[in-house]
Structure 1
Amino acid sequence: MQRPQISAYKRRYIEDVSKGINIDNTLVFLCLLGFLLGRAVIIDNLGPFGIAYFIYMCKHKKYKIPVFFSIATGIILSHEGSYALKYIITLVAVYLISSTISNMAKEEEGIIKVAFIGFFISAFIGMGISFIRGIYIYDILVSLFEGTSVFVLIYIYSFGIPLILKRSMRRTISNEEIIALSIIIGLSITGVSNISLFEISLKNVLSLLLIIIISYKGGGALGASAGITIGLITTMNTAASPIYIGIYGFSGLLGGLFNKISKYMSVIGFIMGWSIIIIYTRGSEELILSIREVGISSLTFLLIPEEKLKYLERFTKGILGSEESALNYMERVKEILHSRLKDIQQAYFEIGTTFEKVREKDKILDQRDIASVVDMINCDVCSKCGMKRSCWGLKFNHTYSLFVRILNILEEEGKIDENLVPKDFERYCINPSDVIKSANHYFDLFMLDYKWNKKLSETRKLVSNQIKSISNSIGNVANELNEEIDFDLDMENNIIIELDKENIKVDKISFLRREGENFEINIEKNACYGGSLCEEQLIPTVSRAVGKRLTSYKLGCRSISDKCSIRLVNSQEYMARTHVSSLSKDGNIVSGDNYTYMEIWDGKYMIALSDGMGKGEKACEESSLTIEILEKMMESKINEEISIDTINNMLMLKSSDEIFSTVDLSIVDLKDGAIESVKMGACPSFIKRGKGGVEVISSSSLPVGIISEIKIDRDKRRIKEGDFIIMVSDGIIDAGKDKHLGENWLYTVIEKIDKTSPSEMSKVILDEALKLVDGNAQDDMTVMVTKIWKN
């Protein structure tokens, strides 16, 4: 019996269904979207939104059939008879050529071709229905308008729908995609139509909820844009459309303005905006009727967990998210730099460890060296001796053991003569003096090699320590780079506004928040040549904008040519001022004492004094090198232990001569009044309390540059307003030696001084030291006095 033929249409339908439909969240959402777009109607029963949606979805075979039925259901439930028939016929026509549309969509610029197909199908079927019902020019124009709408909507869907399908994989959203998504959501809300419960419109609740979410996550500008767009789409077929466009837009604007404070303030701002415009345009009665919808949407928004809003944030930052994208880019760069620096740190550490592992000789002659020396003595002396056959041929072991005993004596005594030679060797060997001479010669060579080996080993250790210090420094930089650093864009805008009010023009400004309450403000502007603008206007204005008292980092702004850059930080509790009085030995121009004082970082103030051993240019070179390295490393936020260790290694490696210098370092934390002192072979320093009393800070450590393993002595104390920190070189301390006063004379002088100026105090101490040496300085003399007072 012949089997019945199946039409091509039925065969294609069966094939599509036989592939199976996997129900997942995406399918449910797309079907719901299709149902709402099928229901969406604007002026005069026009509803091309579902048709355009299905035409685009034809390229996705997995979702084509479910979306077809969901759109058809929406059309049947929302349109009147003839209009529903027109759209159902259009849907079926599109389905019949869906395979062609799917293949065409895969081509380059294929979406434009698909859009043209949508235009022709929609326009011709619309005009066909018009011919059947009786043609009017108006109906033809409406059909052309509907076809044009389908063309535009297909193009819009091509940006929005892929975002929905790949939402879990997307991290960045373009402007076109966010606009398309907003239009799609607005149209779908329109499809809710007049569904209401207890006179509460579901469409209005969803519209308001969407605007609140966008304004909270996108800010005022995006909130206003979303309000206007959603208001236009959802109220297009009502006479009050212009009024509600304004209400939605203004509400979104106020909701976004308060988004930086909290969710609750954003909701309050939205309700305020809604109430103001409603009362102004519609009256208080309308406000009472609509406040329920606003309340429900606001409460729903507050119940949404913050992690869900974080997910939605990606869909609201598409237009105005360029600043955040820049910050995310900086975060990625920071992570890469941190990782690379950590790799470099590990590499340097392993190199330093490798240097340490190089084997060092612990004896002048080891077993292999002894064999070599015996062989060389044999070649020089025994090879020419007539008894060689008897000694080295017949009695090899006995002869070898005698030579080893001689070399052992050599290693113990450093030199051997006939008095130290074993008696049995003298009786056994016929040329003992030649053997002794040769043994001494080769031992001296091995001794020289051993000394150089020790020197090389010490140098390797120094290099190893230096490489490890570099590794630690890189690690510190990496850790600092990994700290939480946020750019506060809102605060930058506030500062710019305040500066503009005072007519202060700046080129660049950045507000960086660090961990805790620390922050810094960097400003670049044209130089004012004198610094008066910064001190008198800029700093007070920025302080007013920030709401905290600020001070300039270091000693004011740094001017380079015609540009000026200034860094402002939170004002410290204390301020420091240093004065130095010095005198070179025998009136020389060059002094072996070098010093520095400067604000380094995070509100810390450094005072350092170095005394090079010796006098004149050599001593000056030593202390100058110490201070220069210390300045650079401390300014680069490298901690003092690594800095001093680096200085020690540099001095030891600099030359074969003994080069060393003292280091007296004090770091004052101007934020909390803590002082930390580090001394390496330096003289005692003193703290003269503002309320009376003198404290001594002393150390027993060696200067840097003497030994490779250094021990750093630390001393931590607190300082208060009116205290003086006094640091001196050994030329001041030793001034009392000839008078048998020791160091106590300086303690007594400091205790009796009643000066309140650091310059006057330093001059008094120097004058008193000169009196003790009858005006003839026996060594370089330097006095550093730093006064602390509250800011």
Structure 2
Amino acid sequence: MEKVLGNYVEPIQERKIIDYRLTMHNFLEATKKRLEILFIKRGLLLFIFGFMLGRAFILSTLSPFSLPFFAAAYFMKKNKTPAIFIGLVSGALTVSIPNAIYSFGIISLFLIIYRIGSNLAKNEMRALPYYVLGSIFIGRLLWHFIETSNITLYHILMSGIEASLAFVLTIIFLQSIPLLTMSLRKQSLKTEEIVSLIILLASMMTGTIQWEVEGLTVSHVLSRYLVLIFAFTAGATVGSTVGVVTGLIFGLANIESFPEMSLLAFSGLLGGLLKEGKKIGVSFGLLIATLLIGMYGEGASILTMSLYESLVASLLFFLTPKSLTNKVAKHIPGTAEYSAEQQQYMRKIRDVTARRVDQFSSIFQTLSKSFSKQAPLDDYDDAREMDYFLSNVTEKTCQMCFKKENCWVRQFNKTYDSMTSIMTELSDNDGVLSSKTKKDWSQHCIRSDKVVDSIQKQLHLYQANQKLKKQVQESRRLVADQLLGVSEVMSNFAKEIQKERANHEKQEEQLIDTLQSFGLEIDHIEIYNLEQGNVDIDITIPYCGGMGQCEKLIAPLLSDILGETITVYKEECAAFPHESCYANFRSAKKFVVDTGVAHAAKDGGFLSGDSYTMIEIGAGKYALAISDGMGNGERAHNESYETLLLLKKILQSGIDEEVAIKSINSILTLRTTDEIYATLDLAIIDLQDAKSKFIKVGSTPSFIKRSDKVIKIQANNLPIGILQEFEVDVVSEQLKAEDILIMMSDGIFEGPKHIENIDLWLKRKILEIETNDPQEIADLLMEEVIRTRGGYIEDDMTVVVAKIKHNNPKWKTIPVESIRKYA
């Protein structure tokens, strides 16, 4: 019974705990939002800053902080200036009534000068510091005159110093005030912005210099707390900078606070160096700095009080929520929080981009379907077109004939069928009509010759119209194929974009630890892909002095770690010692292709009608192609070159090869009405498994030499540009290492003279060639064919030879476990 009850009680308790946590989370989030509205949107934070800056002085007499803060806020956040104005005057009032009067007067003078100057200055932001400079200088001299009824050189000098400081502070506050609403910012902070923010915070803290609680100086506690926050979030560099800047401003405000600068700078440095120890390590750095600096003080009582102040600052630091320190850290470059924020931002951009690309892919796919929808030509359409054709003929011949009623009423079927037969016969026989048809038609029609001539004229128009319709249909099909191909490419691209890179963070850390355990210095590793055969890794290392450790050490180590051969795909070596080297490592393809080419123009000319290309296309594939334009000379060269150029661009874009060839055929068909065409011999080799596709469009056979036998590859496709619609015949073949692929134009295949069986002759010649070098094979074949012609080159000749080889890396894999064993 207890067991049964326990099964019910435990889930209820767990549910209560979950509900309690959810309630607390909602409460904290609501409180956070209310505080954010109160402090940021309602301006309470700016009011507090204004109040403290109203109390801030330098050398106990100069007050250069209040007006720059008001001026910068007035320029950027006019709706918050009433709260700031009240805060500044209230803060000055806590010091003395004359100070409050001075603050009120100096702000009023600034508003007058700003209103006058805004009508004259083109750039208000650049003019703002000068408005502050003039307001402080004039206002302080007037104040001295009111107090003493006299203006001395000392008064002018001090007014100039205060105005100059206010001029600089205005520029600084213009950068730092927007940072007070950091929760709304998403970009990183520059070094200048961080320093500006620290100056603003330190200036605000000078308003607490006169405050003490139980003998503890509030300004010392707050300044040390500020150093702890930045040392913990940003490290030693920023921590020591914060300490120096804060201590300097405190020293200017009160000469007795100058020793505090050493303590703050040292504690920022030690705290930043000990930040790996979390909050305890940073606080320990502050206490050590307090003890070391305190030893040079005036007595044990001062050291004890300084230790108490550091302990209170550490206590406040421990009470600071982690969310606040993380929020500060993610805006400072170099921190882990900043990197995570940037990755999240990049991930969001990536997802948005992928969605947009996918949307465009859907649009192109829809457009492709729209263009591919063509109304089928049924019997009704054929009959209607025939009626239009005959109506045009009869309009010019039968309308005025006296036998019209006899032919088209009594003998309608016979007349209609006879004229249809005449049209068909003229169309099939190039405008020639048989004697039998002429005789039968003359017996039926008294204007037979006139009707035949009219049919023949209308037939030309009819055929031109039909050809135009076919071209329109072909254009629609071309556009549909192209749009579909683009849609597929964009869809694949969207999938590539959406591949999650952040999932490899653990593997990145493991790789860094493994490589560093061998003494290699690694700055950064980014893993983009770990799929077998498709590894993609970026590694940044310090300056190596050109020792080639990426190829000699890192790639062999990665090969053993990942279980496949890894090579350096791209490398950028640093030119100077303070720079970093960058290398991209990818999976080595199992096969490589060595090529050789021999070609010659007809009669030894310079311009050949044959063109060839050898390109590496995406996804680890290698393409070889030969195109032979019709005839010889410049026009044939342009035709073949244009064909291969289109093929190269389309294949490299990622469109399927069959769609690419159909698109090229459509383009060449529509581009001109002349009877021109080009052959295409295309071989695509997969470098991962050596599987190959051969697409032959009107081209000659190819041959594969494998040890002591020769394999013939051929397909039946008409040349490109002849037919508007054709199916691409693809031949697949599994190649092996050391296979030699030989592709040739018709000048080579049909070149040998007095040879009955060219296939056997070519196979025998290929087997007799003893060398395995592709270039030598191409030269020898070319030479043999030219020799059979008595040294004459009677047609354009091109032969492309490719040898398939295993990809053997230069450096052997370094076994990780064996090295660790002897390490």
C-alpha change, 1:689 and 1:203, in structure 2 (3 Å) is: farther
**Aligned ranges 1:432-581 → 2 under 5 Å:** 432-464=444-476, 550=568, 573=589, 575-580=592-597
Distance 1:617 1:124 in 2: 91
Q: Does 2:676 align with 1:664?
A: no
Structure 1 vs Structure 2 CA RMSD: 6.9
Instruction: Return closer, same or farther for 1:308/1:603 CA change in 2, 3 Å cut-off.
Output: farther
User: Which residue of 1 is the match for residue 803 of structure 2?
Assistant: 786
Aligned-partner SS, 2:225: helix
Which amino acid is the alignment partner of residue 398 of structure 2?
N
Deviations 1:488-531 (A, max 9, x none): xxxxxxxxxxxxxxxxxxxxxxxxx997676999xxxxxxxxxx
Q: Does 1:31 align with 2:47?
A: yes
Residue in 1 that maps onto 2:221: 201
Does the CA contact (< 8 Å) of 1:52 and 1:118 recur in 2?
Answer: no
Q: Match of 2:513? A: none
Q: Report the alpha carbon displacement of residue 142 of structure 1 after superposing the two structures with TM.
A: 6.3
SS in 2 for 1:596: strand
Deviation, structure 1 residue 757: 2.5
| Matching residue of 2:13 | none
Opposite residue 707 of structure 1, the aligned amino acid is: L
Whether contact under 8 Å (2:51, 2:88) holds in the other structure is yes
- Report the AA paired with residue 455 of structure 1: K
2:368–2:483 contact (8 Å) kept in structure 1 = no
In the alignment, residue 439 of structure 1 is paired with which amino acid? Answer: V
Deviation of the 1:290 alpha carbon: 6.4
Equivalent residue for 1:407?
Answer: 419
Task: Note closer, same or farther for the CA distance 1:127–1:274 as it changes in structure 2 (3 Å cut).
Answer: farther
Q: CA deviation at 1:444?
A: 1.9
CA contact (8 A) 2:614 2:622 kept: yes
**How far, CA to CA, are the matches of 1:308 and 1:58 in structure 2?**
26
What are the within-5 Å matches in structure 2 for residues 576-591 of structure 1?
576-580=593-597
Q: Kindly report which structure 2 residues correspond to 1:589-668, keeping only aligned pairs within 5 A, or say none.
A: 594-599=611-616, 605-611=622-628, 623=640, 625-627=642-644, 629-631=646-648, 640-641=657-658, 643-653=660-670, 658-668=675-685
- Count of residue pairs the alignment pairs up: 667
Residues 356, 291 of structure 1: CA spacing in aligned structure 2 closer, same or farther, 3 A cutoff? farther
Taking a change above 3 Å as real, the CA distance of residues 76 and 552 of structure 1, as seen in their structure-2 partners, is closer
Q: Secondary structure at the match of 2:47?
A: helix
Cα displacement string for residues 693-715 of structure 1 (whole angstroms, at most 9, x for unaligned residues): 87775544443222122333456
Shift of 1:376: 1.5
Alpha carbons 2:610, 2:628 under 8 Å: kept: yes
The one-letter code matched in structure 1 to 2:742 is I
Task: Specify the SS of the correspondent of 1:366.
Answer: helix
Show the counterpart of 1:488.
none
Give the structure 2 partner of residue 366 of structure 1.
386
User: Structure 1: which 5+ runs fail to align?
Assistant: 1-20, 78-82, 256-262, 314-323, 486-512, 522-536, 554-566
Structure 2 Cα separation of the partners of residues 230 and 137 of structure 1: 31
Tell me if the contact between 1:377 and 1:439 (Cα under 8 Å) persists in the aligned partners.
Answer: yes
Give the one of 763, 767, 773 matched to 1:757: 773
Amino acid corresponding to residue 30 of structure 1 in structure 2: L
| 1:239 matched residue in structure 2 | 258
Mapping 1:113-512, distance limit 5 Å: 113=131, 115-122=133-140, 125=143, 149=165, 153=169, 157=173, 160-161=176-177, 181-191=197-207, 201-210=221-230, 228-234=244-250, 236=252, 237=254, 238-240=257-259, 243=262, 247=266, 303-304=323-324, 353=371, 362=382, 366-378=386-398, 382-383=400-401, 388=402, 391=403, 397-398=409-410, 403-411=415-423, 432-464=444-476
Q: Give yes or no for contact 1:352–1:463 (8 Å, CA) kept in 2.
A: no
Contact 1:679–1:713 (CA<8 Å) still a contact in 2? yes
Confirm or deny: 8 A CA contact 2:244 2:262 kept in the other structure: no
Residues of 2 paired with 1:644 and 1:708: CA distance? 12
SS at match of 1:662: strand
TM-aligned CA distance change 1:438 to 1:242, over 3 Å: same
Deviation of 1:410 after TM superposition, in Å, equals 3.5
Would the aligned equivalents of 1:205 and 1:297 in 2 still touch at CA under 8 Å? yes
| Aligned-pair CA distance for 1:579 | 1.8
> Secondary structure at the residue paired with 1:666?
strand
**1:661 shift after superposition:** 3.7
**In 2, Cα distance between equivalents of 1:443 and 1:272:** 107
Structural mapping, 1:5-154, within 5 Å: 25-44=41-60, 48-50=64-66, 53=69, 63=80, 66-71=83-88, 74=91, 83-91=95-103, 93=105, 100=112, 103=115, 107-108=119-120, 111=128, 112-113=130-131, 115-122=133-140, 125=143, 149=165, 153=169
Q: Deviations over 1:208-261 (max 9, x none)?
A: 434666x58xx97x8886665344325544232553575488689989xxxxxx
- Contact 1:418/1:433 (CA < 8 Å) preserved in 2? no
SS of alignment partner, residue 434 of structure 1: coil
Identity over the aligned pairs, expressed in percent? 24
Q: Deviations over 1:521-574 (max 9, x none)?
A: 9xxxxxxxxxxxxxxx98959979998965689xxxxxxxxxxxxx99767545
Distance in 1 between residues matched to 2:107 and 2:227, nearest whole Å: 32
Deviation at 1:296, TM superposition (A): 7.8
1:44-74 per-residue CA deviation (whole Å, 9 max, x = no partner) reads: 4765534654577688885455445544554
Q: 1:771 to 1:614 in 2, by over 3 A?
A: same
- Asked if the contact 1:585–1:781 (Cα under 8 Å) also holds between the matched residues in 2, the reply is no
Give, in whole Å, the separation in 2 of the partners of 1:98 and 1:590.
Answer: 81
TM-score relative to the length of structure 2: 0.58
Shift of 1:30: 0.9
- Which sits farther off after the overlay, 703-712 or 110-119? 110-119
Counterparts of 2:778 and 2:424 in 1: how far apart (Å)? Answer: 57
Offset, 1:359: 10
Q: Distance in 2 between matches of 1:603 and 1:186?
A: 59
Deviation at 1:373, TM superposition (A): 1.7
The alignment partner of 2:245 has SS state of: helix
Alignment of 1:672-711 (within 5 A): 675-685=692-702, 698-711=714-727
Question: Does the Cα contact within 8 Å between 1:681 and 1:704 map onto a contact in 2?
Answer: yes
CA contact (8 A) 1:674 1:716 kept: yes
Please give the secondary structure, in 2, of the residue aligned with 1:232: helix
Q: Give, as a single letter, the amino acid of the residue that structure 2 aligns with 1:786.
A: K
Match of 1:5 in 2: none
The answer on 1:712 being equivalent to 2:739 is no
TM-aligned CA distance change 1:736 to 1:717, over 3 Å? same
Q: 1:578: how far off?
A: 0.9
What secondary structure sits across from 2:720 in the alignment? coil
Q: Which amino acid aligns with 2:229?
A: L
CA drift of 1:739 comes to 9.4
